[in-house]
Amino acid sequence: MKHSLLHIITGAAMLVSCASCTRMKDTGTLNTTSYSDTTATLKAATEITMGVAVDYTPMTADSRYAAVVKRDFDGVTFGYHMKHGAIVQDNGTLNFSRADDMVAASSGLIVFGHTLGWHSNQNATYLKKYAGIVVPAAAELLPANAGFESGLTGWSVFNTGNPSGTSTITTTTVSNEVHGGTTAMKVVNPTAYPGSQWRVQVSSASFPTTTGKKYTASYFVKAANAGGSIRLSLGQAPQSGSQYQGDQPIGTAWQQISFDFVAGTPNNTFLFDMGQAANTYYIDDASVKEFVAASDTATIVKKLDTALNTFITGTVTHFKSTVKAWDVVNEVVSPTGFLRTTGNSSDVLDKSASDVFFWTDFLGRDFAYKAFKYAEAADPAALLFINDYALESSSVKLDSLLLLVKELKARGAKVDGIGTQMHIAWNTTYNGIDAMMQKLAASGLLIRISELDVKANPLSRPGFVLTSVMSSYQADMYKYVIQSYKKYIPKAQQYGITIWGVTDNTSWLYKNGLEYPLLYNADYSKKPAYGGVLQGLQAQ
């Protein structure tokens, strides 16, 4: 049901009292429910576990923030500090220090674990490097002046034609003769020596190598005229270890030439051989690096499986005495209902971000299955949840999630419950909420509202002011969600309700005052939204 102010404006007199009105009824009359009574605590108003998401700095350093949390709620979920990106260090070790601080600050509260498997808030840089998805950059081995910025310093001219001096080897600063920086090497060879490439030859300085390891030498080159030719020869010591690259045809546009070789000695040089064809050659930006091969798919999958196991097992084990329930897999269903991957996650704007990594790109459907199996093995007594958003607005996504749960359970995974996030707005349809609750109840699993917040300004209109009217609409929605949960989810399946944040100004949706989605103002005073939740909990 979508509501419009046009349905309630029946006269000027009605507008006078609209400051205290709330959501409109279908009859066109005003709902004058008051949400001013906010004296009771939420946890005292219900048998349902009431939780709230908390952040590190206010929970550990702001006594007023922590006092409100402990006064009104039974439990907490850490917004960030139990996620992969918060715990996994760049070297793969697990650092629980900040999460431990938050556990200590949450003494007396139930701590819900969030989250063991997600595509966001990952240490994606570590995962890609460890698994071999991204090949780490190798160190440059050539001594200084690989780009000829200091002329020919460090380079040795071995041969200049037959007779000697027929060719000239200098440097150039002409802009269209330089690839990078301000200088390049210029070789003018007026005579062709077919089969005797060495007749015009320049050597690099010596660089260190390890016998038996593979390396890549590269450089940029172009010729003044078509039909040029160049090759690299490896000047290993002793010379019996030399290797040669095949002749490389060179045109008039810059091109990068690479030559892979296996070192036969601890130190090497390479030589540009330019005697094959008469031409003028421009050479710039030379390089030698150890060859680092990308991992094959099987190796990547194996390493990611190990990384997933290490994080989940280590984290669940570390908090075994504290955390009795976990979001094991988070947001694994795409907006279109398919298993989420890089390709179908249109809601993720920057897929290359350092904290974004889609496990399913490599592990596929085994990602969710293995995550649950690893969590169960680490703590068989813990309750394990799958968590997702937009289930109240997308029946396709909801149905897909329920089918995934059936699949996981059929494969032997321990899935105890489903979390519906419910990042919604004041005008989210009631019918969608009710339909979702009924389908979730039919699963027979534990159901929790896991990340509830209600937007008052869903279109992000600039200059928005949270008026008393909009505050009442927001409170209406909070109240309705609680009532729908209580109505359709049997008591035995009600695992709890978590509000996703404390004060508006600390919400992930706040955006410098564009949105006010939570129960408390910045000064910790209670909003009508608090009263809406309270009435929903108190209603029979």
Q: How confident is the model at residue 31 (pLDDT cuts 50, 70, 90)?
A: low
Alpha-carbon torsion 112, 113, 118, 122, what sign? Answer: positive
- Which of 32-36, 369-373, 395-399 shows the lowest mean pLDDT across its residues? 32-36
Which has more confidence, 134 or 67?
67
What is the arithmetic mean of pLDDT over 306-318?
98
What is the arithmetic mean of pLDDT over 395-401?
97
Q: Please tell me whether residue 106 adopts helix, strand or coil conformation.
A: coil
Q: How confident is the model at residue 138 (pLDDT cuts 50, 70, 90)?
A: confident
Query: pTM value?
Result: 0.75
CA distance 240 to 265: 11
Domains observed in the chain: 35-133+296-510 (3.20.20.80), 156-290 (2.60.120.260)
CA distance 245 to 230: 9
Residues 6+ apart with CB under 8 A from 334: 340, 341, 344, 345, 397
E strand or H helix that includes residue 423 = strand 423-425
Rg (CA), the chain: 33
User: For residue 18, is pLDDT > 60?
Assistant: no
Kindly report the average pLDDT of the chain as a whole number.
92
Residues 6+ apart with CB under 8 A from 107: none
The pLDDT value given to residue 236:
67
DSSP code per residue over 116-182: EE-SSS--HHHHHHHHTSSPPPPPB-S-S-TT-TTTTTT-EEEEE-SSTTSSEEEEE--GGG-SSTT
As a three-state string, the secondary structure of 315-336 is HHHHCCCCEEEEEEEECCECCC
Q: How confident is the model at residue 32 (pLDDT cuts 50, 70, 90)?
A: low
CA nearest to 68, candidates 419, 533, 522, 540: 522
Partners of 208 in beta bridges: 267
Q: How confident is the model at residue 11 (pLDDT cuts 50, 70, 90)?
A: very low
CA distance 218 to 377: 50
The HSE-up count of residue 394 (CA atoms within 13 Å, CB side) is 20
pLDDT digits (tens, 9 = 90+) for 37-58: 899 999 999 999 999 999 999 9
User: For residue 1, is pLDDT > 70?
Assistant: no
User: 10 Å Cβ neighbour count for 387?
Assistant: 25
* pLDDT more than 90, % of the chain: 84
User: For residue 72, is pLDDT > 90?
Assistant: yes
CA dihedral 388, 390, 393, 397 (to 10 degrees): -50
What is the arithmetic mean of pLDDT over 408-418?
98
- Largest Cα–Cα distance in the chain? 108
What is the arithmetic mean of pLDDT over 83-109?
98
Q: Which two tokens stand for residue 21?
A: 């009105």
User: For residue 20, is pLDDT > 60?
Assistant: no
Q: How confident is the model at residue 135 (pLDDT cuts 50, 70, 90)?
A: confident
What is the arithmetic mean of pLDDT over 303-309?
98
Q: Which two tokens stand for residue 127?
A: 């995962």
What is the arithmetic mean of pLDDT over 320-328?
97
- Report the alpha-carbon angle 226-232-235, nearest 5: 155
CA distance 274 to 230: 5
What is the arithmetic mean of pLDDT over 66-91?
98
The pLDDT value given to residue 26:
35
Could you tell me if 217 and 141 are in contact, meaning their C-beta atoms sit under 8 angstroms apart? no
pLDDT digits (tens, 9 = 90+) for 240-251: 445 888 999 999
Query: What phi and psi, each to the nearest 5 degrees, are found at residue 35?
Result: -115, 30
